Copies of this chain bind each other. A is one copy, B any other.
């Protein structure tokens, strides 16, 4: 393609800038500072480097672009529009309006070309690391067919957030040379100059983490292009291009001030800005014909690149049909229809900690689902979540399947979102349930994006014992269940563990959370009418009785079963209900729910070693809650059970007391 003249390039960049300013002005809401400051970098990156085809936003060999400073959303929307993605000008004009394709922050799955949902700072940075890792892991599995990179723009906020520091350290360790971030170093934050809080040497910090770093003027197209070329040619280290920019670049009155970060320029300043840039005041949303023509040419070339790849790809597929089959298995992320029975066989029915039973399910599932990869935040010996035989993922063995995240729970979550977004992996993460608190922002985005990540949390109650209250989850179960779109399983034994994993890998179209015990639990005796897939209904009757209904989950189901025996001896007959997944149970028709938990009943009792208020939505406020309402304590498991009244004996006594 002919090199565009300096004038034409300026015209293009100004088009991007003014589309952003006009859209934000019209919405009376938004963040003009970053789009104006990043337009030069984005223009050079998207025209000369970024590999994509607007007609196929899911092309497997496209470069991924991550806008980690998601508040610059209008920059991305302007680019998507000009580069002819399915984002008409009408949607640009409806920026931040109800039902538009242009929400305040970019939302994956909502707008074609948006690779990941960003806004909460640091998340995009870490998710991009996951995408880059995914590309390297696919490259190792299928050499020679995927040759793209992950590019992104990151802000001061991203650089300051701990999740990005964690992800940067791991990206450097793994040598992700296919990752290139442009750091929008504008020295301005919302409270004022970055010097208020931030005086570290960012280049040196990233170099210490194994990154290749460059420093440029973020408005000089030649410097941007040269830096991106150097970064792209660096294959062994991720690259951070520290680009000195001016926030609100082009706005005569507001550039380089925090006032331009989060509010529209305002009619006067917008007018002055257009004047400065030699831009027509009216009409708003103006795109000069030369600019359209230029982008036509660029897009034509980008489409051609995809066509060339498709030709190579078809040949590549034909060369080796078995390999093509594995390739498809990766991208389809499908499990065999009988996965549940395979896992039931693999897990078996002996007494064991559900984390141990889960380990068996993982091995069996991974053997038939190549897309499965996963690991822990340095707790694998406890969480049992490594994939045996697959080998550890490392710089030297990117074909491995067991991920080692280090003691970096938050990055683990965000990186796994990136692995899932990439499209060819079904990742799982693992740590103790208490540390889910470190991962919540990433888990929330997984729910928003409906990522197929399985979040495994072991040591799921005070019954982990001696480690004490700092490690004993109490509020985490209700806290996680409260995230919209999550499906949480707390399996009671091997059958429920197998079916939980079968759901996560074979059925789920969104994140699944598995909460597993540290301590051993016995297999549950079930009625002959029980079908394993009843577990997928979220709840079912374990054994019937007429005087009360004991609703329990996980390790407390066996407590309920034992309490039932004690109560039988006292002439009281109770029904035991297991609720492996309250979310799935709540999705059942009322008739089914009522058949499991009768709406009218002498006494309803919930047994779960966690805070229990939210159970009242299911069982009413007068139900007997045998739950854990306070922090736990450091002691052996049995002593804790007695101390906190979660033994079969204590539960039976409470029920007898209630029944009078």
A interface list, Cβ under 8 A from B: 27, 29-30, 70-71, 96-100, 103-105, 107, 117-122, 156-157, 160-166, 169-170, 172-173, 189-191, 196-202, 204-205, 207-210, 258, 376, 378-382, 392, 394, 404-408, 410-411, 434-435, 437-438, 440-441, 444-445, 447-448, 465-471, 474-475, 478-479, 482-485, 611, 613-614, 616-622, 629-631, 633-636, 639-640, 643
Contact = CB atoms under 8 A, between A and B. Distances in A.
B634 A105 contact: yes
23 contacts: A30-B466, A96-B634, A97-B636, A104-B634, A121-B407, A122-B162, A157-B378, A173-B199, A189-B378, A190-B379, A190-B380, A201-B208, A204-B207, A205-B208, A440-B479, A447-B631, A475-B482, A478-B478, A484-B629, A485-B631, A613-B616, A616-B621, A620-B621
A204 B381 CA distance: 31
Given A162-B161, A616-B621, A378 B190 contact: yes
A103 B166 contact: no
A466 B435 contact: no
A162 B166 contact: yes
Nearest to A634: B103
B434 A437 contact: no
Contacts of A27: 466
Contacts of A117: 470
A404 B193 CA distance: 11
Contacts of A407: 121, 156-157, 160-161, 189
A301 B577 CA distance: 64
Given A160-B169, A378-B157, A105 B199 contact: no
Given A166-B165, A406-B198, A482 B471 contact: no
Given A404-B197, A635-B96, A191 B381 contact: yes
Interface centre among A98, A190, A200 (most CB of B within 10 A): A200
A160 B166 contact: yes
A411 to B, nearest CB: 7
Given A104-B634, A482-B482, A614-B616, 11 more contacts: A98-B640, A103-B633, A117-B470, A160-B408, A162-B166, A196-B406, A197-B405, A438-B441, A447-B631, A475-B479, A620-B621
A469 to B, nearest CB: 6
A470 to B, nearest CB: 3
Contacts of A469: 103, 107, 448
B208 A208 contact: yes
Residue among A156, A162, A475, A620 with the most chain B CB within 10 A? A162
Query: Quick one: which of A105, A122, A169, A639 has the most chain B CB within 10 A?
Result: A169
B105 A470 contact: yes
Contacts of A618: 621
A643 B161 CA distance: 34
